Amino acid sequence: MGQKIHPLGFRLGTTQSHDSIWFAQPTNYSENLKEDKIIRDCIKNYIQKTIRISSGVEGIGRIKIKKRIDLIQVIIYMAVPKLLIEGKPRRIEELQINVQKKLNCVNRKLNIAITRIPNAYRDPNILAEFIAGQLKNRIPFRKAIKKAIELAEQAGTKGVQVQIAGRIDGKEIARVEWIREGRVPLQTIRAKIDYCSYPVRTIYGVLGIKVWIFLNKE
């Protein structure tokens, strides 16, 4: 069997950079790692609760964390940031207070910034969220994947591959289905490939969505 490797970890140092940037001694490393997980989960939960976007997409691409001794800087990349920024600037403050409570960081300042993703459908997380929203509304999975691939191609990607696994369309036996358009050279390290895996809860059970997007050759 072909051994699969995580496309982002495989490309670290060439086309891919880390999402968390900090340095820790071996004794504190696990604490910092847990902290990152708490920050990411807290932000995702808050945005899911406060914002119900019409298409069912929360629109978080990725969350970058930079840590210094006295400061934690969090950058949220979103497709639709206007919901957080416009109208209610206190939403960001509320989110900061929420995260600080979870972390109970007394001597460190938390700073949250929000950045807009210019071409939203070039981001695999947002594409996966779009497919998840379609599947929750009981739209046939092939139609959902084809629509997502179409959106990704309009955003100017060179190739997209989408895979869905689980009880598709409520069938008794779980299976894996995938569709690819264009090129997705997973073996080429110089190829800039973005990837995400996204679980979606449907009424039949949990489905797993994986999205690979080939952006460009650097």
Please tell me whether residues 153 and 94 are part of one structural domain.
no
Based on the domain organization, do 108 and 122 belong to the same domain? no
What CATH number is given to the structural domain containing 69? 3.30.300.20
Write phi, then psi, for 75 (nearest 5 degrees).
-115, 120
Same domain, yes or no, for 156 and 103? no
Same domain for 110 and 124, yes or no, is no
CATH of the domain at 210: 3.30.1140.32
User: Same domain, yes or no, for 101 and 136?
Assistant: no
50 lies in the same domain as 133 = no
Strands 60-67 and 71-78: antiparallel
The secondary structure of the chain in percent helix, strand, coil, rounded to multiples of 5, reads 35, 30, 35
Residues 83 and 152 occupy one common structural domain? no
Q: Is 23 helix (H, G, I), strand (E, B) or coil?
A: coil
Question: pLDDT tens digits, residue range 134-155?
Answer: 898 889 999 999 999 999 999 8
Contact 110, 72 (CB under 8 A): yes
202 part of a folded domain: yes
- 34 pLDDT above the threshold of 80: yes
Residue 190 has pLDDT above 60, yes or no: yes
The average pLDDT across 6-25 equals 92
Q: How many domains does the chain have?
A: 2
For residues 136 and 30, give the distance between their C-alpha atoms in angstroms, rounded to a whole number.
Answer: 36
**pLDDT number for residue 118:** 82
Residue 127, in any domain of the structure: yes
Q: How far apart are CA 196 and CA 123, in angstroms?
A: 9
Regarding whether 107 and 147 lie in a shared domain, the answer is: no
Of 64, 84, 114, the last residue of a domain is 114
216 vs 156: CA distance, rounded Å: 10
Grade residue 65 by pLDDT with cuts at 50, 70 and 90.
very high
Find, among 161, 150, 88, the residue nearest to 124 by Cα: 161
Domain finish residue from 83, 114, 145: 114
Both 164 and 94 in one domain: the answer is no
Percent of the chain with pLDDT over 70: 91
Give mean pLDDT, residues 79-95: 70
pLDDT band at 69 (very low <50, low <70, confident <90, very high): confident
**For range 167-194, the mean pLDDT:** 92
pLDDT at 168 over 70: yes
Q: What is the pLDDT of the chain when averaged over all its residues?
A: 87
What is the pLDDT, as a whole number, of residue 89? 67
Domain housing 210: 118-214
**Rounded to two decimals, what is the model's pTM?**
0.87
Query: Which pLDDT band holds residue 54 (cuts at 50, 70, 90)?
Result: very low
Q: Do residues 162 and 179 touch, judged by C-beta distance below 8 A?
A: yes
